[in-house]
Every structure is written in structure tokens, then in C-alpha cells.
Amino acid sequence: MAMNLRLRDDQADALKQRAEQEGLSMHAIVLQAVDDYLSRTAQQAMVRKTAKEQAAKWAELLERLK
């Protein structure tokens, strides 16, 4: 899928500099950033879901321990 990414000038300059330092393309760095974001937010969502499930499971005990 093709898309346009509009960066501020300072972001584009920093990304270009980082890509040159790491010997990667700007495209490769952006793809890695997207992958990192998706992985991190998926893990956070799983933790939130598990916490809600456990809180519901143990709600009576948690209420008594207040």
C-alpha cells in the first residue's frame, strides 16, 4: 500500500541524518518505527485486557480487602 508521509523540516532532516549514520534508508527506519509502535501498543492492549479480566475475576476479594 502506498501512502504519503508529511514530516516537518526538522523531522525530515533528523531522519535523513539518522539514516545516513545507520546506513539505512529513511524508508527502512520509518517501517521499523511503525513496527515498534504496533508491537508496543498491541502488548499494552493485551496487558489492559488481562488486568480487566483479573479485576473482574477477583472483584469480590478485592472489595473485601479494601
Domain span at residue 27 reads: 19-64
Residue-wise pLDDT tens digits, 6-63: 999 999 999 999 999 999 999 999 999 999 999 999 888 888 889 999 989 999 988 8
Show the CA angle centred on residue 55, arms to residues 63 and 49, nearest 5°: 160
Position 5 in a domain: no
9 part of a folded domain:
no
Domain-located, residue 25: yes
Which pLDDT belongs to residue 57?
92
State how far the alpha carbon of 48 is from the alpha carbons of 34, 53, 61, 64, in Å.
21, 9, 20, 23
Residue 36: the pLDDT is: 95
Dmax (CA) of the chain: 59
12 occurs within a structural domain: no
Residue 28 lies in a domain: yes
The whole-model pTM stands at 0.66
Would you say residue 4 lies in a domain? no
- Residue 6 domain-assigned? no
Structure confidence at residue 66 (pLDDT): 83
Instruction: Please tell me the distance from the alpha carbon of residue 60 to that of residue 66, in angstroms, as a whole number.
Output: 10
Domain total in the chain: 1
What confidence score (pLDDT) does residue 15 get? 98
In a domain? residue 1? no
State residue 58 phi and psi, 5-degree precision: -105, 20
